Copies of this chain bind each other. A is one copy, B any other.
Amino acid sequence: MRISTKAQYAVRAMVDLSVHSNGRPVPLKEISQREEIPLNYLEQLFFRLKKAEVVASVRGPGGGYILARPSALIKVGEIVAMVEEPLNPVSCLDDGGAACHRISRCVTHNVWQGLGERIRGFLDAISLEELTREAQAGLDVLSPPGGTTR
């Protein structure tokens, strides 16, 4: 029961983007360096996040990515779902549970299905805005307002 590093990267990168962009496009190179995530890998992730319309892109010099919506409207669940593809904890739920016969299977199905719903419910209840606020609060401890800020 592991979350892929893909999903961890994606969420971290989105928090980083949200913290460091203020309407300004943030190039992946920056995020890559700050978060220590391979640039090429990030590109793949943001490719998908863009298709999901979670971010938008600006090409060319001075370009980068920006949030496609206010961070309050971006849920962690969306980010995870987009890179993690099937958010069902078991394969036989992928087709809606059609191909299931054996009894003990059906019984356990309910467990996995319920689990999936809890997972999605939990992650969908957290917005990027919350994480951003928390991250900024954490940053303030390291370099308080009036400190080394330019």
Binding site for B on A (CB under 8 A): 1-4, 7-8, 11-12, 15-16, 19, 34-36, 76, 80, 84, 86-91, 102-108, 110-112, 114-115, 118-119, 122-123, 126, 131, 134-135, 138-139, 142
Contact present for B3 and A89 (CB under 8 Å):
yes
Complex contacts, A122 vs chain B, CB 8 Å? 114-115, 118
Q: Which of B102, B103, B106, B108 contacts A11 (CB 8 A)?
A: B108
Q: Which residues of B contact A115 (CB under 8 A)?
A: 3, 119, 122-123
CA distance A139 to B106 in the complex (A): 11
- Asked whether A108 and B12 contact (CB < 8 A) given A114-B122, A115-B123, the answer is yes
Q: Do residues A139 and B12 form an inter-chain contact, with CB atoms below 8 A?
A: no
Which of A115, A126, A138 has the largest number of chain B CB atoms within 10 A? A115
Query: Do B3 and A76 touch (CB < 8 A)?
Result: no
Q: What are 6 inter-chain pairs, A to B, with CB distance below 8 A? A: A1-B3, A8-B90, A34-B104, A35-B102, A111-B131, A115-B123
Q: Which residue of B lies closest to A131 (CB)?
A: B107
Residues of chain B contacted by A86 (CB below 8 angstroms):
1-2
In the A-B complex, the 5 residue pairs with the smallest Cβ-Cβ separation, listed nearest first, are: A3-B89, A103-B138, A15-B104, A107-B135, A107-B134
